[in-house]
Structures are given as C-alpha cells and as structure tokens.
Amino acid sequence: MPKKYVDIETLKYILYDIHKLKNSLARERFQDHDMESLNLFLDSVKEFSDRELYPYFKEMDTTPAYHKDGTVLVHKQVEKVMQQSGEMGIIAACFNYDIGGLQLPFIILQAALYIMESANNNLPGYAGLTGGSAELIVEFGTKELIDTFVPNMLSGKWAGTMCLTEPQAGSSLSDIVTKATPTNQGFYKISGQKIFISGGDHQYSENFVHLVLARIEGAPKGTKGISLFVVPKNRPKSDGTLEYNDVMTVADFQKMGQRGYCTTHLGFGDSDDCRGWLVGEEHAGLKQMFLMMNGARIAVGRGAAAISMAAFRASLQYANERPQGRKLTSTGKKNPSEKQSLIIVHPDVRRMLLLQKAISEGSLCLVLLASKYHDFETTATSKEEKEKYHLLLEMIIPIVKTYPSEAGAESVDNGLQVLGGYGFCTDFVLQQYYRDIRIFAVYEGTTGIQSQDLLGRKVTMQNGKGLELLSAEILKTIAAASNDIDLKTYATILGDKLKLSQKVLGHLLPIAKKGNYERFLADANLFMEYMSIVVLGWLWLEMAVDAKNALKNGDKKYSETFYESKIHTMKFYFKYEVPKTNALSESLMNNEEVTIKKDKEYIL
Amino acid sequence: MPKKYVDIETLKYILYDIHKLKNSLARERFQDHDMESLNLFLDSVKEFSDRELYPYFKEMDTTPAYHKDGTVLVHKQVEKVMQQSGEMGIIAACFNYDIGGLQLPFIILQAALYIMESANNNLPGYAGLTGGSAELIVEFGTKELIDTFVPNMLSGKWAGTMCLTEPQAGSSLSDIVTKATPTNQGFYKISGQKIFISGGDHQYSENFVHLVLARIEGAPKGTKGISLFVVPKNRPKSDGTLEYNDVMTVADFQKMGQRGYCTTHLGFGDSDDCRGWLVGEEHAGLKQMFLMMNGARIAVGRGAAAISMAAFRASLQYANERPQGRKLTSTGKKNPSEKQSLIIVHPDVRRMLLLQKAISEGSLCLVLLASKYHDFETTATSKEEKEKYHLLLEMIIPIVKTYPSEAGAESVDNGLQVLGGYGFCTDFVLQQYYRDIRIFAVYEGTTGIQSQDLLGRKVTMQNGKGLELLSAEILKTIAAASNDIDLKTYATILGDKLKLSQKVLGHLLPIAKKGNYERFLADANLFMEYMSIVVLGWLWLEMAVDAKNALKNGDKKYSETFYESKIHTMKFYFKYEVPKTNALSESLMNNEEVTIKKDKEYIL
C-alpha cells in the first residue's frame, strides 16, 4: 500500500488559513474549543485512521460484505470503527451538549471524516449515516423519540440509516408507496420495500434505526404526501429489552466498488408487525429529510474528494519511484545510454498529476467551504447573516455534491493512467479507487438531479439572490488578486468567465419564462460543469492569493515550495480547465434542440 | 443480459454504404469474394457470437482466469472459440491462399472481430493475437519457420502471443534486456522476463508460439539493437512431437476488467534451455514488430468501439423499459397523477444516450476507415496509391487506437449513469463494460505514447504530407455537405475547425524547430483530443451526407428513421462535442509552461 493516503498539511492549510477556522471558533457555540485542541483532535483521527482504517482498505474490497440468512455479514473492522467513532465523539461531534454532543464545528467533523475516508472509504459511512439519522430525530422528533433512540446512536451502539429509494421510484421520490397505517397506540404500521440502503444491516450492531419515508393512508399524491418515520429493526420495550420489529433484510446489492460498505434491500412489515413512529409533522417528511440533505450532499462530495486525494497520493508515489524512459533532448531524440528518468519528469505524467492535485485539493477546499457556510448559518447571530449563509450554502450544495464526484472520477482515472498497465491490476490500489469513486455521481441525487437543482431552483431562488451573493464572494477574491501583479491576469480571466455565465443565463432564463422548462433544463449538466469550473477557479485563485501573501510577508507556516505549489496548481487550473467554459458556453447558447423528445424517435 | 449487444444494421451500413465495401472487392486479391458471401460470413459470425460468446460474458468475469501450478486456467469457452475461429477461418481470414488463408479483405475481418468483441471481449483476443503473430512469421520468417508454426496457428490448434514489455522497461522498449545468445545450431538461447502477455498460457492449447523482442549479445543499445524471435513454449521435434522449451509461466496479473482474458508473466530460459529462432534480420526486430503494430492498434480501437457499442445497447434497452419521473410541464412542475414516463423521454437521459451513440458508432466508422485504408494500401496497384493510403493510415492510426479507448470509456460511463444505482451493481452488465474498457487506453501504447506519435511523428512525416492527404479527404466531405442546404452550416463549422488546427500547429511547430521538443510535445494529449474531434466530426458529417442523399433519392435500404438518426447524431456531435476544440485550442496556444519540470519541485 502507498505510504501516504492524505495530505494533512494541505488539509490544515485549507482549514486554518484559507477557511480561517479561527473565525468559526469565535462563535459562542464553539467557545469551549480552541485551535490547539481541534488540531489534536484531527491528529488523533489521523492516528486512528492509520491504525484501524487504512490497513483494512484492500481486504474489505476483496472480501466484500454479503447477504446470508437474512442478515449481511461485513468485515470485523466495522465493529471496531463504529465503537471507536462513538468513543472518540465522531458520531456525537456536532450535537448539543445536552444530549451528549461535543458542539464541535461542522467543518471539523467534515475534516475528520475526510481523513477517515481517505484512509478507507468503506468504513466512515456506517458512523456518518448514524449521525445523520440521529440528527433528524433530534431536529424533528419528540423528546421521547430522542431519549429512546439517540443516546445509543451517538455512542455507536446502534446504527442509523436513511430509507428513501424504492424499486419503482428511483430518483422520483413523489412515487414512493411505502405505507404507514395509523393505529391508536401512538405508532403507525409500516409496510413496503426500500432499496439501496447503505449500512442497512450487519452482524455488529444490535439495532438499526431506520429513518423511513412513507405515505400515510389517504395522504395527497406526490411529494406533498410523504411523512418521515423512525422504524427500528428491533423496538425497545419499556423494560429496556429489544423486540423484533418485522424489518427484514431481503437481499443485498453486490457492487463494483465500495464493496466493504454494505448496501441492502429492506422489507418492512412482511408479517404486519412493523411499527414506525412519526418524526415531525404529517406529510412534512420530504421537507424534513431535505433539511438534512445538505449535510448528506456535503458528505458525498467529501467522500469523493477523499478518494481522489488518496488516489493522487498513490499515483504520485508511483511516479516518484518508477524509472522509465528519458527526457527528450533538443534533437527530439532520447539517449539510450543515459540512465532512465523517474516518470515524474515527463510532462504528460506531470499534467496528469497536476490535474489530480487541482481536482482533489480543489474539491477539499470546496467541501470545507460549504461546511464553513453551514457553521455560519447555524450559529448566525442575525437574521440577515443566517439568510446570507443559508443562500450561499443552498447555492453551492449541488456543486459540492457533483464536482468532487465527477471531476474526482476523472482525477482517479488519470491516477490509474500514471501507473500504466499496473494501474489496471488488482495488486495496485488505483483500480480500487477507480471503482469506488464511481458511485458518488449517483449517491444522494445523481449528477442530472443536482444539475436541475442548480439551474432550475438555486439560480432562480429569491430572484437570483443566492447567485448574487456567490458572485459577490467571487468578486472579492478577484479584487484581491487584481492587486497582485502576478495574479492580475488570472483575476481578469475569472471575471470574464463570471460575466460569461451571466450571458449564458441571459440566454437560458427567457426560455423558462416562456414556459419551455424542458428545454430550459435540458443542458443543466453543462451549466453545472460551467459553474463548477468558475467556483473551482475562484477557490484556486483564493489559495494563490493567500500563498502569495504568505511568501511576500515572510510569515511562512509552511515551506516555500508548499506555497509555490498552490500558486502553480492555480496556473495549471487556469491553463487547462478554465478554457473549457468556452466550449460549454457555446453549447449552452446553441439553440438547436437535439435532446428533446420529438414525435419521431431518432435514437435507434 | 440485454437482448442486443451490437447494431448489425449500423455495422453493415458503415461497411457497405459509408466505406463502400464494393470498391474494395474490385481489387484483384479479393476477386473470389462478393457482397453476398461476405454478408453471409458476417451473419454466421453473429450467429456464432450469439451462441458461443455472449452467453458466457458475465461468467468469464465472475470466474476469472487464474494462475495455478505453473499454468493459467481459463474458462472452457476459450477452447471452443479458438477451435471455431480456426474452423470458420477467422484466424486465417486475411492470409494468402498458398498458406491456407482466405484472402478476405482486412475490413471484413475487423467487422467480424468487432461483432465477437461486442458479444464478449474476453474471447476474440486469443484468436486475434494468434493471427497477428502468425502474420509476423509469414511476413519476415523463413519458409521453415512458416511451415513449422503457421499451419497449426491458423487452424487454432496453437496459440500465438506478442512479447514486448519487460518489468523494468514498460513503454520504453529501448530498455529491453531479454537476451538472445547465438549458438551454431541455427537457434539462439533466450533468457529474460516478459510481462503483461495477453493469452500467454492456458490449459486449452497444446502449444504457444511467442513472438519475442530480445537483444542479441553485443547488439547496439536502444531500439536499434532489438531483434525478433519465435520462441515456442514447446519446440516441435523432427518427428512431430513436442518438447518443453523452458518457457515458464511465472505468474498472472489479476485485473479490474477483462478478467476472462488472461494476462501472464513469462520467464524464458530459467534452465538455460530456451530456444528462439530469429525472425527476419538481426536488430530489425522493433521495425518489424511495428510494421504489424498498425494492425494491433486498429484491434485495440476496434475492441474499445465494440465495448462502447455493447454498453450503449444495454443502457438504451434499460432507458426504453424503465419508467421513472415525468416530463416537465409548462409550469416547470410535474403532475404526480400522471403515469410515470419511460426514462428515455428525459432530455438528460437522451443526451447521455446520444453521446454514446455518437461515440460508439463514430468509433466503429473510424476503425473501419483505417481498415479500408489498410486494404487499399496492401492491394494498391501503383506506388502513388500505396504511398497515399500508407500515409493516410499512418496519420490516423494513433487516433484509431486512442479515440475509441478514451471516448469509449466516457461513453460507457454515461451508459452506467443511465441506470443510476443499478449501473453500479454487479447484477447489471454496465459495470463490467466500465471495468473492461479501462485497459484500452493503456494497451499497445498508452494515450500519452499515441499522442506523441501523432504530434511528434505523424504530423511532421514527409513534411506534413500525411496531414495534407487527410485534410484533402475531410475537405471532400465538407464540399459535399456544403451543397446541401441543411448540412451547409455543419460543413462550415468543420472547415473552421480544420483551419484552427492549422493555426494550432503554426503555434506549436516553431517550438520544435527551436529544439524545444519537450515543450512541443508537452500538450500532445490535447492535440490528440483536438484532432480526434475533427476526424469524428468529419465521419459524422460524411454519414449525414450519405443519409441525406438516401432520403432525397428515395433509394432507401434502411428505414427513414434509421437515416434520420444518423443526421440527428451528427447534429448532436456538432452541438456538444465539436465546441470542445475551442477550449483545446486555447490551452494548446497558451504559452505558460506548467507541466515542464523546472529546477524547483512544485508537486507536493
């Protein structure tokens, strides 16, 4: 296995210097934490990941989770990591003190899970989903529900899951049919099937607390008739013992990647004895679920960013160790008497490595930006501030979910290519990252869904206020970079691309106004790609501004090479990635309709 | 398994109507063949593939080839397909009558292997490599060598392989160290290690005829000191029996994909008893091998084109059967009371399907174009004609190898995404295509190597004669399309892109002239992408011109929808793919050097 799976220095740089963790810590909620203690916390997570996660990464792929006799058998490390995630406060990190939480900033939890996911992306999901579902109960559930379920979840004793997808509905949640029948005993009877349930069952948790979307009998059709329920695998009785709650593990899904992270098919109420407890209001389930969905989507972006980082480190190590070929001489030939070069000297290999660096570190910066907005929103001291960060977060969420997943897959693909034939062989780890990362463009809303969210909802929300706020943030960086003689050029380019995005919207929005929504959203994926490049260009420019300042002011926490490499990667991004906006804007403003279904069927 | 893995109609359309097989058949060498007999041959290959290849596709992935006790155990179907490939004349297809060949056009063999590869890409390689290595012996070997080895290879009794790569050399063939020591008995003693040998050993062939690159003792350094040898696993004795020739299967490579197509590590001469027979002249090995390399590179492009086709058909079937979501109404909402739509109505799904169609059918058209050039070169009746098709083939070969592999992987990626979560599950076949196709960007010279070949050698060969000839062909299509009122726009765009490519070269070539070859070739991959888009745009425009003519003239062999779909896919290609040249040309003409190694190391 490669020596290094994560670049902790860059993580801390982005966390402390770029996103200025200190500012978050000034918030009242976080007053008990200081930079030093959080730094130690991250170091302990790294040490834990070195010891309990990374060494099992390959093994969890070659001996995948599997369904047997009504349960799913997973790798023994699941037990260890769930337990330790409880003990170390990873599950409880962001909860309030009063229910046993640590009131850590959300951004710190994301950094911690990022480290763990770089080490082994099969494991943190078990803990992460448990925290996410506990959060839903805490946010919307009654005190009784909270007391019954949450403490055992935060300690890692019980696991939690989110049950949205059904076989006949897929991404179309309005077609959910899982049924909730009211009783007069305070619970509902649940019946239905849920698929693609991550961490839905295994031998190491005595209970699973499922957060289930279902339809109360007689509820309105569509998404407005969906309610949220807590449906445990085993229901706690008043004496503290557990009783089977008719939640059956029907099957599992064997997957191309993330093979150690089990994916299950659950059946509820096969024997008409499955009880569910309503969380929050009737028919408000989807809205409630979506309040938590931002967290889930940050988590997806974070996981993908972590995998692309780990793959980058692995291919970088290979490139630094593998001799092959020679540098070209000025006659265009090579001299076979010379010693072979390490492949890291070849420009094409460097291009692939720099692309990985730009994508993986850029994705990390993006994920932590969203986390910062999340902290600022939840701890805002004024309505205006809350609104501002709420809108900023809403605006970038689809990009945070999508860019690390899509570009991350491209990044890993380049990492594999650096190794040539070895990259394709199971003896090397690149092919595992290649398979693992592929699911992230599907998780929690596919790229298509995210793109429609970005263009169809986020751009237009509150008359474009979110986009306005985001543009203002970008313009701040452009202004700062314009003051630097070396960065001015890049600032100008980014400004132009931002303006061009407005032109693109000026072309698209009238189409929606005319009522042709299908056409308006037809190329939403391309718009997603466009905006992602602008946002990533912005973050890289921001990093370059900071690095430049550090070099100028002599206030260097990191090496000169470290700062130079950030500036260099920004230049790479502007040379190779930013120009893609030209192609995208041309396609987006092309009026020919070739993907809208017409009367004639052309695809054969 | 999906019902349809290949679109035979499109294959025949491209073969007969676009590449006008009739013109090839007019050549003397092919006079015994007519359209009808070749059509029947392809139908029989399809029937054979339906029966003996496709049903085993999944099984060969889940029970991969593996190394045990010094041999490799492969799926039983390898035996069947090798034997039948012999009987049906697939291995012998293009050889001369005098050694048992069928003198079929090369383009027909490629079409046949394409069908087989669409059905199951694990199998045709065994036969294909046997044909390729037999060809090397026939082309350069003595009559004795031919008589000893070739008949058993053409019949499928013995298998053949190509042994180039060594552990310490990788793509850098000048660093090959496998040793050939002359003896006075007409053979050389061979010793060394070869890795990544496809089809290098298995239980179903009584002999393996390895074509091995090695260095005769005292040979010059570099590629000019490499010779080619026939090194059988078992050497035939004068009495016709076989004697072990000290070729050991040291290990195999377990891979992410193509798991049924074995990849071996061979050791030659461990007991100092491995005999090799020189093929052709001393030190001419690499030149000889590369004369055959065009065929090998066409084969790689063909395999990738076949996989992307099969994946396209699978995702198209899914999209036509899976109901999910609804069309957007003019208020931008969906009506949940409406029946769910099939996902093929959603523009984003159609975009993914059309991209697959454009790439997979375009790749097929490209592969068969190269095959046609190959036939025209080998059967040319004048020196000028031979030269013309030689240069045209040389020019497009790196693109033929690369575009189907790189764009094909993107195509399959989109196919997987059409299936959402199911695409990631092993119950569905998309994830297998996704894994299988990934090796094609590495096979027979990586994308990096091909790109350097295109920009560094092919563009400049004979003072740009190859590029001139290719441009002339493209201009012919542009002229034809300009005469059609509907196609004129696209003709103009393609003409502009061709001109822009000259501007790009006008920027790059002076850099080489100044002796800065490293910088000249640093972005060769981007140039490859640029030229690929131009060539594919050309082929799609050519198909549109033909389809338009057929529709106008009422001479319709295929349905109106069939022709319309070709024109429609061309439009798709011009809207979504061709604009990428804008971004690529901008990057290519950007003078900032960010991938050339400087004194300081910036990648951390």
The mean pLDDT value for A435-440 works out to 98
* CA distance linking residue B212 with residue B247, whole number of Å: 12
The mean pLDDT value for B353-357 works out to 98
Over the stretch A323-338, which tens digit does the pLDDT of each residue have?
888 877 777 777 878 8
The pair of structure tokens assigned to A571 is: 């230049």
Q: Do A439 and B426 touch (CB under 8 A)?
A: no
Selecting from B253, B519, B575 the residue whose C-beta is nearest the C-beta of A592 gives B575
* CA distance linking residue A431 with residue B121, whole number of Å: 19
Over the stretch A101-114, which tens digit does the pLDDT of each residue have?
999 999 999 999 99
Would the pLDDT of B171 be above 90? no
Would the pLDDT of A170 be above 90? no
Tell me how crowded residue B384 is: count the other CB atoms within 10 A of its CB.
9
Over the stretch B424-465, which tens digit does the pLDDT of each residue have?
999 999 999 999 999 999 999 999 999 999 999 999 999 999
Q: What is the DSSP letter of A54?
A: G
Selecting from B175, B579, B600 the residue whose C-beta is nearest the C-beta of A587 gives B579
pLDDT at A334: 78
The pair of structure tokens assigned to A578 is: 């930013």
Over the stretch B548-598, which tens digit does the pLDDT of each residue have?
999 999 878 999 999 999 999 999 999 999 999 999 999 999 999 999 988
Residue B532 — φ and ψ, nearest 5°? -60, -40
Q: How many helices (H) and strands (E) does chain A have?
A: 19, 12
Rounded CA Rg of chain B: 25
**Residue among B87, B97, B5, B105 nearest B46 (CA):** B5
Pairing of strands B71-73, B66-68: antiparallel
Of the pLDDT bands very low, low, confident and very high (cuts 50, 70, 90), residue B199 is: very high
Over the stretch A342-383, which tens digit does the pLDDT of each residue have?
999 999 999 999 999 999 999 999 999 999 999 999 999 999
Residue-averaged pLDDT of chain A:
96
Q: Which residues contact B483 (CB under 8 A, 6 or more apart)?
A: none
Ranking A24-38, A157-171, B80-94, B344-358 by mean pLDDT, the lowest is A157-171
Q: Which residues contact B24 (CB under 8 A, 6 or more apart)?
A: B30, B105, B107, B372, B375, B376, B379
Question: Could you tell me if residue A331 is left (phi over 0), alpha (psi between -120 and 50 degrees) or otherwise beta?
Answer: alpha
Selecting from B324, B431, B575 the residue whose C-beta is nearest the C-beta of A594 gives B575
pLDDT at B359: 98
Q: Do B420 and A427 touch (CB under 8 A)?
A: no
pLDDT at B340: 87
Asked if residue B451 lies in contact with residue B398, where contact means CB atoms within 8 angstroms, the answer is: yes
Q: Do B604 and A565 touch (CB under 8 A)?
A: yes
The pair of structure tokens assigned to B435 is: 């894994």
Tell me how crowded residue B1 is: count the other CB atoms within 10 A of its CB.
12
CA distances from A345 to A472, B44, B600 (A): 40, 51, 12
* CA distance linking residue A2 with residue A58, whole number of Å: 12
Would the pLDDT of B601 be above 90? no
For the CA atoms of B508, B513, B515, B519, what is the dihedral angle to 10 degrees? Answer: 0
**Residue among A497, A498, A496, A505 nearest A527 (CA):** A505
Element holding B553 (H helix, E strand)? helix B524-553
* CA distance linking residue A95 with residue A378, whole number of Å: 12
Is residue A444 annotated as part of the catalytic site, yes or no? yes
Tell me how crowded residue B204 is: count the other CB atoms within 10 A of its CB.
17
Nearest CA in chain A to B197: A421
* CA distance linking residue A259 with residue A255, whole number of Å: 6
The pair of structure tokens assigned to B530 is: 């640029």
Over the stretch A82-136, which tens digit does the pLDDT of each residue have?
999 999 999 999 999 999 999 999 999 999 999 999 999 999 999 999 999 999 9
pLDDT at B389: 98
Given the residues A444, A529, A542, A577, select the one marked as catalytic.
A444
* CA distance linking residue B310 with residue B3, whole number of Å: 10
Tally A–B CB contacts below 8 A.
298
Would the pLDDT of A211 be above 80? yes
Contacts of B439 in chain A (CB under 8 A): 421, 424
Over the stretch B257-283, which tens digit does the pLDDT of each residue have?
999 999 999 999 999 999 999 999 999
Over the stretch A483-503, which tens digit does the pLDDT of each residue have?
999 999 999 999 999 999 999
Element holding B98 (H helix, E strand)? none
Contacts of B420 in chain A (CB under 8 A): 170-171, 442, 446
Question: Could you tell me if residue B193 is left (phi over 0), alpha (psi between -120 and 50 degrees) or otherwise beta?
Answer: beta
pTM: 0.97
The pair of structure tokens assigned to A593 is: 């309709």
Contacts of A562 in chain B (CB under 8 A): 604
The mean pLDDT value for A533-547 works out to 98
* CA distance linking residue B442 with residue B447, whole number of Å: 7
The mean pLDDT value for B163-175 works out to 87
Element holding B379 (H helix, E strand)? none
Query: Please, how many CA atoms are within 13 Å of residue A242, restricted to the half-sphere of its CB?
Result: 15
What SS3 string covers A572-599? HHHHHHCCHHHHHHHHHCCCCCCCCCCC
> In a 3-state reduction of DSSP, which class is residue A229?
strand
Query: Please, how many CA atoms are within 13 Å of residue B83, restricted to the half-sphere of its CB?
Result: 9
The nearest CA of chain A is from the CA of B164 a distance in Å of 13
The mean pLDDT value for A204-212 works out to 97
Tell me how crowded residue A236 is: count the other CB atoms within 10 A of its CB.
16
- Return the percent helix, strand and coil in chain B, to nearest 5: 60, 10, 30
Q: Which residues contact A595 (CB under 8 A, 6 or more apart)?
A: A522, A523, B347, B348, B350, B351, B354, B572
Contacts of B452 in chain A (CB under 8 A): 348
Would the pLDDT of A56 be above 80? yes
pLDDT at B280: 96
Q: Do A256 and B451 touch (CB under 8 A)?
A: no
CA distances from A216 to A165, B69, B315 (A): 17, 62, 35
Place of tokens 């790059």: B508
Nearest CA in chain A to B253: A425
Partners of A264 in the β-ladder: A197, A252
> In a 3-state reduction of DSSP, which class is residue A36?
helix
Residue B553 — φ and ψ, nearest 5°? -85, -5
Q: Do B256 and A426 touch (CB under 8 A)?
A: yes
Contacts of A329 in chain B (CB under 8 A): 517
Tell which of A405, A410, A424 to mutate to test the B interface (max B CBs under 10 Å).
A424
Tell me how crowded residue A471 is: count the other CB atoms within 10 A of its CB.
19
Would the pLDDT of A75 be above 80? yes
Of the pLDDT bands very low, low, confident and very high (cuts 50, 70, 90), residue A281 is: very high
pLDDT at B603: 74
Asked if residue A178 lies in contact with residue A213, where contact means CB atoms within 8 angstroms, the answer is: yes
* CA distance linking residue A108 with residue A38, whole number of Å: 8
Given the residues B117, B361, B394, B444, select the one marked as catalytic.
B444
Asked if residue B380 lies in contact with residue A556, where contact means CB atoms within 8 angstroms, the answer is: no
> pLDDT over 70 for what percent of chain A?
100
* CA distance linking residue B88 with residue B3, whole number of Å: 25
Residue B190 — φ and ψ, nearest 5°? -105, 140
Residue-averaged pLDDT of chain B:
96
Over the stretch B31-81, which tens digit does the pLDDT of each residue have?
999 999 999 999 999 999 999 999 999 999 999 999 999 999 999 999 999
pLDDT at A337: 80
Asked if residue A167 lies in contact with residue A193, where contact means CB atoms within 8 angstroms, the answer is: yes
Sign of the C-alpha dihedral computed for residues A446, A468, A372 and A9 taken in this order: positive
Nearest CA in chain B to A176: B336
pLDDT at A331: 75
Tell me how crowded residue B143 is: count the other CB atoms within 10 A of its CB.
7
Size (chain A), residues: 604
Partners of A215 in the β-ladder: A179
